[in-house]
């Protein structure tokens, strides 16, 4: 590393804090915004199956992330996984470069999407015109950057505080359904009429894209691998705990809301949680619920920016990205240049785009290189190095890999032709950039000098 002789990342995050960071990453504005969209796309009471499907894919994929994260617990997560799996001199160098390349685009888009969703949901409290929405979303990104500009142990304590607000919000919503609604109605609707044709339908595929977006973040702990204590155990445990916990909360959230507001009405609601609370407790309580939803959205973006800021840093320390991003803060020991770069780009994106334009694009852009690439990478690593000595071994190998690759390809197809082409275009541009870089630095595939 360039300067880690004097400054290095500190392993200060334990199992609880790691799980908390994963969970607040997963529960952002997503479940509150996409809940009506999922119902609309399914067109009936079977919408809960899309949330179940998202949880199943997340759990299967978490097995892949767990094996890689426990074996290679370093800042940057996927950057190192791809290098190790495909070889850091040739194909691994290319795949890791493509991952960082797409991260430079999709990571700020993820942050921007959350900030835009935050400003849209704030519209329940006070009317906002287009300019006001952009001011609010930009202010959210700036506030997050300032809050993250500190030591990792302090960030761990802040994460716990934000997590408490997340659990409190979801708990209030669930309790509202338990105490005032008929929760058997949506469950019965889910169980009646479920058949294979639902899973194969275009509507289910589109709905699953939205639910997967709401589950993304279960792997955030891998991006923070260099700051996790006892990573061989804590990284897998934190992922499975967070997926299981969030899956239960999402299902209870959907069941609670539709036990009070029929799905025919819920599918048309722009502020579904606020409407739900207003119907039960009145407008004042609905205002407080909206504030809590905004708290949840802010907490999620906090975890998202924390994890993604480590990726350019990791690439820079390996000489695969601009050297300035490898700089650590001299006293607080965190990658401050990478954080500031992410914050600046996300701020610009939050002023340029709309929420509907980015959710599907984010997923389509990541599937081939990151999710499918890593799944295949596990197979390559096992063939080359074996499984002896792995801190975590996925059960039923290679079945989870086969299932994950198949489902991810299906989800990629379900994004639609335009988003598939957009994702492939980003990869193509990254390949061109990689070849230009290879030519300037005289390494593979322009020359085999590095393999001599």
Which candidate, 193, 188, 184, places its Cα nearest to that of 259?
184
pLDDT, tens digit (0-9, with 9 covering 90-100), for 45-60: 889 999 999 999 999 9
pLDDT, tens digit (0-9, with 9 covering 90-100), for 200-230: 677 888 888 889 989 998 998 998 898 999 9
Entry field: residues in the chain: 452
5: confidence class by pLDDT, cuts 50, 70, 90: very low
Residue 416's SS3 state is: coil
Highest mean pLDDT among 7-16, 317-326, 399-408: 399-408
Rounded mean pLDDT of 417-423? 91
pLDDT value at 369 more than 50: yes
Q: Which domains, from first to last, does the chain contain? A: 15-80+111-355 (1.20.1740.10)
Higher-scoring residue by pLDDT: 159, 232: 232
pLDDT, tens digit (0-9, with 9 covering 90-100), for 9-48: 788 889 999 999 899 889 878 888 889 999 998 888 889 9
Q: For the whole prediction, is pTM greater than 0.75?
A: yes
Residue 75's SS3 state is: strand
Between the two ends of the chain, the Cα-to-Cα distance in Å is 23
Q: Is residue 307 within 8 Å of 76, Cβ to Cβ?
A: no
């Amino acid at each position: 590393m360039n300067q880690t002789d004097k400054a290095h990342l500190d392993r200060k995050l334990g199992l609880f804090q790691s799980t908390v960071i994963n969970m607040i990453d997963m529960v952002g504005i997503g479940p509150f915004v996409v809940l009506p969209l999922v119902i609309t796309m399914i067109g009936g009471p079977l919408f809960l199956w899309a949330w179940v499907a998202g949880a199943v894919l997340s759990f299967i994929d978490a097995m892949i992330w767990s094996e890689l994260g426990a074996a290679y617990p370093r800042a940057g997560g996927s950057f190192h996984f791809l290098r190790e799996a495909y070889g850091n001199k040739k194909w691994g160098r290319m795949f890791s470069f493509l991952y960082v390349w797409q991260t430079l685009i999709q990571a700020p888009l993820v942050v921007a999407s959350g900030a835009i969703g935050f400003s849209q949901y704030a519209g329940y409290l006070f009317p906002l015109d287009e300019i006001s929405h952009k001011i609010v979303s930009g202010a959210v990104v700036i506030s997050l950057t300032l809050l993250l500009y500190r030591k990792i142990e302090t960030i761990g304590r802040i994460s716990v505080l934000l997590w408490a607000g997340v659990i409190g919000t979801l708990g209030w919503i669930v309790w509202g359904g338990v105490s005032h609604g008929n929760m058997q109605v949506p469950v019965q609707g889910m169980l009646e009429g479920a058949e294979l044709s639902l899973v194969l339908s275009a509507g289910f595929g589109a709905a699953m894209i939205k639910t997967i977006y709401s589950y993304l973040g279960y792997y955030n702990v891998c991006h923070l691998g260099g700051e996790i204590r006892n990573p061989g155990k804590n990284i897998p445990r934190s992922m499975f705990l967070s997926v299981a916990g969030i899956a239960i909360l999402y299902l209870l959230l959907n069941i609670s809301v539709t036990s009070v507001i029929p799905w025919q009405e819920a599918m048309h609601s722009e502020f579904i949680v606020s409407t739900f609370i207003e119907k039960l407790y009145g407008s004042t309580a609905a205002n407080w619920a909206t504030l809590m939803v905004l708290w949840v959205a802010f907490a999620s973006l906090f975890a998202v920016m924390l994890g993604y800021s480590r990726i350019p840093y990791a690439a820079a320390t390996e000489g695969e990205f601009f050297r300035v991003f490898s700089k650590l803060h001299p006293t607080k020991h965190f990658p401050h240049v990478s954080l500031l770069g992410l914050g600046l780009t996300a701020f610009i994106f939050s002023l340029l785009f709309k929420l509907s334009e980015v959710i599907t694009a984010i997923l389509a852009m990541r599937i081939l290189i990151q999710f499918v690439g890593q799944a295949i990478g596990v197979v390559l690593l096992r063939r080359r190095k074996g499984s002896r000595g792995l801190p975590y071994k996925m059960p039923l190998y290679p079945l989870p890999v086969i299932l994950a690759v198949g489902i991810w390809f299906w989800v990629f197809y379900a994004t639609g032709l335009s988003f598939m082409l957009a994702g492939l275009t980003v990869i193509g541009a990254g390949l061109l950039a990689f070849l230009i870089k290879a030519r300037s630095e005289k390494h593979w595939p322009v020359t085999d000098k590095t393999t001599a």
